[in-house]
Amino acid sequence: MGTYIIRRLLGMIPMLLAITIFIFLMMHAAPGNAIESMINPKIQDIQALKQQLIQENGLNKPLYIQYVDWLWNFIRGDWGYSFAQHVPVTQLVLPALGNTLILAALAEVFILIIGVPLGIMQARKPYSTFDNSASIVNIILFSVPYFIIAIFLIYLLAIKLNVFPSQNAIGSGPNAGSVLDHLYHAFLPAFSIALASSAVYSRYTRGSMLDIARRDFTRTARAKGLPESVVFRKHVFRNGMIPIITQFGFDIGGLAGGAVILEGLFAYQGMGYVTLQAAQQRDYNVIMATSLIIAVCVLLGNLIADILYAMVDPRIRYD
């Protein structure tokens, strides 16, 4: 297990390098000089300032040196300066990362509470009226674009009933910034994500459970005289959860940047939101940092998925 994790971690390094090169080259290929997006055209004596900035930012050096410099600075924690927001990128991105992780975690909890149990309930009584109607609800929920669900939730819960905030990742008042406050603000976006994903997860869970319920070893368990509840809990459930748990790992990483639209709608200052804003303002340093962080999150998510997989499935663990 230990070597397994180490091997996976080492295996991530070339991928990380490839990601950094891709991000660097993409930004480099962006039309327009990076400097031009940095400086305010109202400043007098623009040319001198431009030259100075080019010098300071090493933009006259060969490309690979620029890349190495950028990477080295990034590793050291110097992620550059946001020219649109006028703050160091770290100040912008790190809180956003925190917010996004809270959102992702909460969303996953909701999925665990809503989607997975629903799928399990469906699988317990497949082809029953309950199962069929749940399947229809799922496919509808799955077909409504998730931002429409989100808008509906904002309208209902934030504007009409005013029970949850519709905007921002933290509130005001004495408790602002506390854990509870964070969760309170993450509630609606997380719930929106969860509603849309739950449809997927319950379909997935149901399918996985039904698949396991057809397996030989389930039949063996029944032949041993175990009551249906035990058969389900101990045999079907345990095996059926393996792909779900793995998917969970993937999603934890994916949510880091995957909820762009929702973060935008909820003005939730997460990674997606910051990236979106930076994209609108062509704030290259921020885009580079967020893209890289998000890619790393996804990589780590995959790692988590693999580890979870190895943990629940002895066939992998004893490899």
| Range 272-311, binding another protein (CB under 8 A) | 272, 275-277, 279-282, 284, 287, 291, 294-295, 298-299
131 closest CA partner among 142, 144, 122:
122
Residue 44 to residue 245: CA distance in whole angstroms: 58
The token pair that represents 153 in the structure block? 């939730």
For residues 220, 223, 226, 230, the Cα torsion angle rounded to the nearest 10 degrees is: 40
Minimum distance from residue 33 beta carbon to another protein (Å):
8
Residue 243 to residue 312: CA distance in whole angstroms: 10
Q: 113 or 175, CB closer to another protein?
A: 175
Q: 113 or 224, CB closer to another protein?
A: 224
Phi, psi torsion values for 176, nearest 5 degrees:
-55, 135
Measure Cα distances from 239 to 38, 122, 142, 181, 218 in Å. 54, 16, 25, 37, 10
For residues 8, 76, 279, 37, the Cα torsion angle rounded to the nearest 10 degrees is: -150
Q: 113 or 125, CB closer to another protein?
A: 125
Residues 112-171 that bind another protein (CB under 8 A): 126-127, 139-140, 142-148, 151, 154-155, 158-160, 162, 166-171
SS3 81: strand
Instruction: Tell me the number of residues near another protein by CB under 8 A.
Output: 110
Q: Does residue number 270 form part of the binding site for another protein (CB under 8 A)?
A: no
Minimum distance from residue 61 beta carbon to another protein (Å):
20
Minimum distance from residue 68 beta carbon to another protein (Å):
21
Minimum distance from residue 113 beta carbon to another protein (Å):
24
Q: Mind giving me the DSSP string for 47-65?
A: HHHHHHHHHHHTTTS-HHH
Residues 30-59 that bind another protein (CB under 8 A): 30-32, 36-44, 46, 49, 52
Residues 182-211 that bind another protein (CB under 8 A): none
Minimum distance from residue 223 beta carbon to another protein (Å):
4
Q: 31 or 62, CB closer to another protein?
A: 31
- Which span (23-31, 58-66, 71-79, 187-195) binds another protein, by CB under 8 A? 23-31
SS3 87: strand
Q: 113 or 145, CB closer to another protein?
A: 145
Q: 111 or 113, CB closer to another protein?
A: 111
Residue 161 to residue 177: CA distance in whole angstroms: 23
Phi, psi torsion values for 82, nearest 5 degrees:
-80, 115
Considering only 106, 264, 289, 308, the residue that binds another protein (CB under 8 A) is: 264
